[in-house]
Amino acid sequence: MTETPIIPVPSESDRTPRAAIILAAGHGTRMRSALPKVLHPVGGRPMLHWALALARAAGAERIILVAGAHSGEVHAEAAKFLPAQDIVIQDPPMGTGHAVSCARAALAEFEGDALVIFADTPLIPPETAERLFAAVAGDASVAVLGFRPADPGEYGRLVTGANGALERIVEARDANAAEKLIPLCNSGVMAAPAKLLFSLLARVTNHNAKGEYYLTDIVGLAVGDGLQARVIETAAEDVLGVNSRADLAAAEAVFQSRKRAEMLAHGISLQAPDSVHFSWDTEIAPDVLVEPFVVFGPGVTIATGAEIRAFSHLEGANVREGARIGPFARLRKGADIGGHAHIGNFVEVKNVRIGEGAKANHLAYLGDGTVGAGANIGAGVVFCNYDGYDKYQTHVGAGAFIGSDCALVAPVTIGAGAYTGSGSVITDDVPEDALALARGRQILREGWAAHFRAEKRRAKD
């Protein structure tokens, strides 16, 4: 199995074992997309991965994913991170209670607490999941994550007693007028001992407005059995669920706002924070300057003292201390920019290690290879790395000078301190400290232009 890029499980030997049940069986029709809803990204990371990360961060030793029979793509993605026996299918869909019940067999031997989360709710902080588990470890048999939205609308309402204990959850369609005035709403996320959870679900019926088996009904059943249910409140934005493109944009906006605040607090200068776009794993050291309209795709690391100038796009790149990128630069996967190197306007770098202090200040494509320390790459230089079938390497030695408008046809090596004349097409290796010229000889014809213009004028008379 592929190693999942998510937070490792904390080791707490004295803690009750934990499991997570991730619900990902929805059709996502309102997304109007061929891509399954839970594979759409927030912060450059599929929402399914956010749910997996939350489960790991909460200390789940078992993670059960409930997928729909209609979505082979979700199943295939989950299979990169979970064993086959931990991916179960809900078919046909009959509500959230039925979806959780689909995990019963997978957790038949599990002795511990279970957390139910949704693969389309990517913004729940790990500490919030920890609070749910803590409530179950305390006096609660069931802990429900609640929130207070500006517009309760179609959310289920959390009905609490005089002592604040949760008595039941009523779905909006089944709520009476008084219940609809309750501001405290159900996120759908909850925790309970696994065996109790499945025992309660076995008693849930579908006698409701939608004819479905509601997970929420277990609260009323638990309270009726004399058990304690509690509400753990969180911010509305934490439980923002994604059902449409508008919801996806709203979730992205929340993520970006949080990431910008995190960066500013960490000592990064953002000249126009709202114009900078981060990914979930962007790592930037203190004392980095980021100018307006910069996009950080996944896999970017920036060392202290670097400058990322306006309108640059970086993904899968490493920028070392004091380097300057942009404006209008593009760093692609495998770009590794050395300390105090310069990558200027309209320069694209892909899978190239740029040495310390090297410069490619304008209008160049550097793909697959290395550039030595202190080398200079002139305007219009192209590493010709692809023949239509395979990629090849170009290596430029330390202190080399590549003249403007040179094409370096890989595989090729330019030795340390060597020069290539402007406009050259270099197909053979160049030794250290040599000059390579590969261009046609200039022909000069005195007076030709004046004669040409005169002939053209006569032709028009």
Q: What angle do CA 274, 279, 280 make, to 5 degrees?
A: 120
Instruction: Enumerate residues 6+ apart whose C-beta is below 8 A from 230.
Output: 135, 139, 140, 142, 143, 144, 165, 166
Q: Is 417 left (phi over 0), alpha (psi -120 to 50) or beta?
A: left
Distance CA 37, CA 29 (A): 8
Distance CA 51, CA 273 (A): 27
Distance CA 439, CA 442 (A): 9
Distance CA 354, CA 343 (A): 9
Cis? peptide before 83, omega within 30° of 0: no
Distance CA 290, CA 310 (A): 8
Instruction: Kindly list the catalytic residues.
Output: 362
Instruction: Enumerate residues 6+ apart whose C-beta is below 8 A from 440.
Output: none
Distance CA 419, CA 184 (A): 71
Element (H, E) at 251: helix 245-265
User: In this structure, what token pair is assigned to residue 204?
Assistant: 């849930």
Cis? peptide before 41, omega within 30° of 0: no
Distance CA 19, CA 260 (A): 32
Residue 9 φ/ψ, nearest 5 degrees: -70, 130
Strand locations in 226-371 (E): 229-233, 269-270, 283-284, 289-290, 295-296, 301-302, 307-308, 313-314, 318-319, 324-325, 330-331, 336-337, 342-354, 359-371
Give the three-class secondary structure for 381.
Answer: coil
CB burial class (10 A; 0-12, 13-18, 19+) of residue 164?
exposed
CB burial class (10 A; 0-12, 13-18, 19+) of residue 234?
buried
Distance CA 315, CA 300 (A): 6
Strand partners for 376: 359, 401
**Residue 26: which of 4, 5, 47 has the closest Cα?**
47
